[in-house]
Amino acid sequence: MPTIKLEGEQYIYERISTDGRLTSYQVKIRRTGFPQHNASFDDLDEARRFVRKVLGDQDRGHKVDRLAAHRNTVADVIDSAITALETGRRRVKGAASELYRLKAFRRNNAMLCSTALSDATEDMFEDWIAERLEEVKPNTVGRDIRLLKPLFAAAARKYDLLRSPLEYVDAPRAIDERIRRIHEDEEALLFAELSKAEDPLVALAAEFALETGCRRSEQLRIEWKDYDRRGGTVWLADAKNGRGRHILLSERAIQILEALPGRAAGGRIFDITPNLLYKAFVYARERAAKRAIAIGRPELANGISLRWHDLRHEAISRCFDAGWTSEQVMDFSGHVDIKSLLRYRHPKIDQSVARLRELERQRRSTAVLMPGALDGVLRDGHVSLDDNRQI
């Protein structure tokens, strides 16, 4: 397609079709010692702005490639992040999960990934969010956005974008705090089924989680060399928040560890894979639900909704039930802020009602012991003040 230099412009050309129509404006900037810039624009003013920006860089001696955002795509940003994780250049907690989600994004969004970074817009990502919400819950989408935002913020700086296409995109909000307590009979049914697992380590691992409130990922990382029988702790060097902490052991938790094999060999205390542990737990809770119906206790059949992480919720809630202060519970759970901790506090309603009744009883007792407490304050429906009394 022929090009004709635009009159009065040094670097801008008109692209003319075979039938004589103006199709676009082409910018050609070639200056010795600087990157070449060849770009097409539909708008003349946009082409002029581009020329001014490039010439300004070069006049200041900056060898900036202003076309990098046109040549690189959304897929290039994702691929770069995948490579960084696979090669170990970027080390983060949950690297396997991040890698899985990045590859899924790359695989399932071909059109968006083929878009040049210079053309990627907020609307494109808003459309992706809307489609994603038809398949998964808002919190899942939120995790994806929190993963992608820093990647595109870094790309905006690297490729000289005006701003990241995700800068003003907000994650969908959802209030889905989990409130789940484990009934005593439900616990008995569950552990009866867990004890039937092919690997006896499954039931012991679940009981250890309930005794210590330990996260499953942390529990499967602890090692024998960090177990202190005398001190009643296991040192966890790399907790979820990145800090080390001591896992506090109850007497029952110590008994569990003492009964486990492999101490002499060292290594991980719970030598079992996350997938095996998860599947064994799922099968056990399903059998427990069926057993509850079979024995005429259908109210316990909701065990199908029980998750492994609910064991941590239950352990922390029991600490609050016992009257521990928030600071004491934080020492037990490993939380570093009170807001996160209180998501795990699920008081038993019957205990809350009992405390309310006790408070009412105390008030009535106080009123009986001080029958004249308000004498002189309320008379004939009016308030009277003594010289030295304030209300």
User: Is pLDDT at 378 greater than 50 in this prediction?
Assistant: no
Q: Which domains does the chain possess?
A: 3-66 (no CATH), 71-158 (1.10.150), 184-342 (1.10.443.10)
- pLDDT tens sequence across 209-234: 999 999 998 999 999 999 999 999 99
User: Is pLDDT at 259 greater than 70 in this prediction?
Assistant: yes
Q: Which of 163-172, 200-209, 242-251 has the highest mean pLDDT?
A: 200-209
- pLDDT tens sequence across 97-123: 899 999 999 999 999 999 988 888 899
Residue that has been written with the tokens 């929190």 in this structure = 146
- For residue 131, what are its two tokens? 């489609």
61 residue type, one letter: G
Mean pLDDT of 178-192: 88
Mean pLDDT of 48-74: 74
- Return contacts of 125-134, CB within 8 angstroms, 24+ apart: 125/165, 125/166, 125/169, 126/169, 129/169, 129/172, 133/172
- pLDDT tens sequence across 260-285: 988 888 899 999 998 899 999 999 99
Using CB atoms within 10 Å of the CB of residue 324, give its burial: 0 to 12 exposed, 13 to 18 middle, 19+ buried.
Answer: middle
144 or 33, higher pLDDT: 144
What pLDDT score does 227 carry? 95
Cα gap 128→112, rounded to integer Å: 8
Contact 206, 281 (CB under 8 A): yes
Contact 205, 259 (CB under 8 A): no
What pLDDT score does 348 carry? 81
- pLDDT tens sequence across 10-35: 888 888 887 778 888 878 888 777 77
31 or 245, higher pLDDT: 245
- pLDDT tens sequence across 292-308: 999 988 888 876 678 89
Q: Which of 34-38, 75-79, 201-205, 326-330 has the lowest mean pLDDT?
A: 34-38
Mean pLDDT of 155-180: 82
Under the banding of pLDDT at 50, 70 and 90, the label for residue 385 is very low
Cα gap 34→59, rounded to integer Å: 10
Residue that has been written with the tokens 């020329």 in this structure = 51
Q: Map residue 240 onto helix, strand or coil.
A: coil
Kindly give, in sequence order, each residue whose CB lies less than 8 Å from that of residue 369, ignoring residues fewer than 6 positions away: none
Contact 171, 142 (CB under 8 A): yes
Cα gap 152→81, rounded to integer Å: 10
